[in-house]
C-alpha cells in the first residue's frame, strides 16, 4: 500500500507561489521530499479561513500561509490554534523584521509584489512562448517573436531561447535541415529579428558524437559524420544569406556569452 503524502494547504491573499515554493523547499529536506500542495489563493475574507482550517483538521494537514493583512493572519492563527491545526506564517516574521530595521510600517497591500513586478509576468509569458515555439513546432509564432534563432542541430538554439526568455525576450527557433524546407513564415520575419547560429565542423562533430554516446547509439552514425555536418552547415549558410540576418559563430562560446551578443544585436535594431 502506497503511503499517503503529507498534505499542506497553502493559503494566500495573492497567487500563493511564495508559500508553495517555501513549502516544497522545506519538504525537500526530508526523505522522499514529496508533498501534496492544496493551494487556496486570493483569500480576502474570513470564511475561506474557517473552511481551510476545518479541511486541514479533517485531513491531518498543516497550513502554510502568506497573508499580508494583520487581521487575516491573526484570524487564521486563532482558528488553527482552536482546532489544533499547525499553521505557519511564512511572510509575517519577515515583514515584522523589515518594519523594525526600517522603522516603518508595512503597506499591507495584498499581492503587491506581483502588482509592482510587471517584469515577472513578462518573463513568464516569454518562457511560455519559448516552450510553445521551440524547434519550429508552430511557425505561426515566428511573426510574433522578438527574436528568431536559426541553425543546424546542436547549435544551442533551445538553451538560448530559454535564456533569452528569462531576460523577457520572446524567442522562437527553427532547425535548418537540408531535407526539410524552412517554413515560409521565416522569410516573412523582419531579417533584423532573425539570428543565424553557426559553429565549426570539428566542434559540432564532437558535440554530436557525445550526444550519440549519451543516447547509447553508434558514434559513427551519419548525424555526426563530417560529410553530413559540412552539408548541413553549407545549407544553413545559404538560408542565412537568403534572409540577410546577422550570424554568430557559437564555437567555444557559453550560452550566456552568445545570449549577450544576441541581446546587443537586438538593442542595436538587428545590426550585427
Can you tell me which residue has the cell 549519451?
A: 214
99 annotated as a binding-site residue: no
Cα–Cα distance between 167 and 160 in angstroms, integer?
11
154 annotated as a binding-site residue: yes
Nearest to 176 by CA among 158, 149, 200: 149
152 annotated as a binding-site residue: yes
Q: In this structure, is the dihedral angle defined by the CA atoms of residues 159, 164, 168 and 174, taken in order, positive or negative? A: negative
Partnered with residue 247 across adjacent β-strands are 196
209 annotated as a binding-site residue: no
38 annotated as a binding-site residue: no
Nearest to 148 by CA among 11, 262, 46: 262
Three cell numbers at 164? 533569452
Residues whose CB falls within 8 Å of the CB of residue 68, separated by 6 or more in sequence, listed in order: 13, 91, 95, 106, 108, 109, 110, 111, 112
Sheet holding 87-89, edge to edge: 36-40, 7-12, 62-66, 87-89
Give me the half-sphere count of Cα atoms (radius 13 Å) on the Cβ side of residue 8.
22
> Max CA-CA distance within the chain?
75
156 annotated as a binding-site residue: yes
Q: Which residues fall in the annotated binding site for ADP?
A: 151-158
Q: Which residues fall in the annotated binding site?
A: 151-158
Amino acid at each position: 500500500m502506497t503511503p499517503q503524502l503529507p498534505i499542506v494547504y497553502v493559503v494566500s491573499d495573492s497567487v500563493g507561489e511564495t508559500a508553495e515554493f517555501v513549502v516544497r523547499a522545506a519538504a525537500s529536506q526530508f526523505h522522499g521530499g514529496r508533498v501534496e500542495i492544496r493551494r487556496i489563493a486570493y483569500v480576502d475574507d474570513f470564511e475561506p479561513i474557517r473552511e481551510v482550517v476545518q479541511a486541514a483538521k479533517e485531513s491531518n494537514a498543516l497550513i502554510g500561509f502568506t497573508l499580508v493583512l494583520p487581521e487575516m493572519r491573526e484570524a487564521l492563527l486563532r482558528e488553527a490554534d482552536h482546532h489544533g491545526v499547525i499553521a505557519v506564517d511564512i511572510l509575517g516574521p519577515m515583514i515584522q523584521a523589515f518594519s523594525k530595521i526600517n522603522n516603518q510600517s508595512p503597506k499591507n497591500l495584498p499581492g503587491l509584489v506581483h502588482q509592482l513586478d510587471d517584469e515577472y509576468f513578462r518573463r513568464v509569458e516569454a518562457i511560455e512562448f519559448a516552450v510553445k515555439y521551440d524547434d519550429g513546432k508552430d511557425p505561426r509564432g515566428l511573426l510574433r517573436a522578438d527574436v528568431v534563432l536559426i541553425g543546424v542541430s546542436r547549435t544551442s538554439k533551445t538553451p538560448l531561447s530559454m535564456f533569452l526568455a528569462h531576460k523577457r525576450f520572446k524567442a522562437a527557433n527553427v532547425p535548418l535541415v537540408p531535407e526539410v524546407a524552412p517554413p515560409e513564415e521565416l522569410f516573412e520575419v523582419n531579417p533584423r529579428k532573425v539570428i543565424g547560429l553557426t559553429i565549426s565542423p570539428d566542434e559540432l562533430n564532437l558535440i554530436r558524437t557525445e550526444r550519440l554516446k549519451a543516447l547509447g547509439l553508434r558514434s559513427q552514425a551519419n548525424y555526426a559524420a563530417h560529410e553530413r555536418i559540412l552539408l548541413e552547415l553549407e545549407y544553413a549558410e545559404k538560408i542565412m544569406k537568403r534572409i540577410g540576418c546577422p550570424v554568430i559563430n557559437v564555437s567555444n562560446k557559453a550560452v550566456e556569452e552568445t545570449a549577450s551578443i544576441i541581446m546587443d544585436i537586438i538593442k542595436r535594431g538587428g545590426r550585427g
